[in-house]
Amino acid sequence: MRTLKSTLIIAAIFATSTFAHADVTVGGQSMLASKDIVDNAVNSADHTTLVAAVKAAGLVDTLKGKGPFTVFAPTNAAFGKLPAGTVETLVKPESKTALTNILTYHVVAGKYDFKALSAAIKKQKGTAELATVNGGKLKFMMNGMHNIAVMDEKGQTANISTYDVYQSNGVINVVDSVLMPK
């Protein structure tokens, strides 16, 4: 009886950890936890603009690195909210520095899924602040029971629309607006 009980407990722990990191569909494709950030992002139909920007900025190797990284990944629709011509200008070779600054502003060192972000918000009494890879800051606050809003340094807010897209080198949280550094 004791062996059966132990087996059931181990099975329950395994099932919980498996479901906690289950593959998520983004942009019509499964995002596999066994793949890295770039290898998953290239398959998302909702992130073709982001992938093109990452390539133009020369950040592919960085985002394929060990990490862990948390990427707040704007969708194509998020890039579409920018003023006309902004994306086209940013992907030009002469804009590489500005593009890199914007993209690395969407990356935080470490692994921040919903649970970690909400715990940081609670610990910091309602607003968590995290440093980005480019040296800027992002602010996080709850916007409902299971929604976190992200505020950039210009005071613009994005909502996380898809949480906990686990990668072999971190996690992606999909955002509905492009975040802009100072």
pTM metric for this prediction: 0.83
Average pLDDT of the chain is 85
Average the pLDDT over 169-174 and give the result: 94
4-49 tens-digit pLDDT? 343 333 333 333 333 344 567 665 556 667 788 888 888 888 889 9
Cβ contacts of 139 within 8 Å, gap of 6 or more: 127, 128, 129, 150, 151
The answer to whether 172 and 36 have CB atoms below 8 angstroms apart is: no
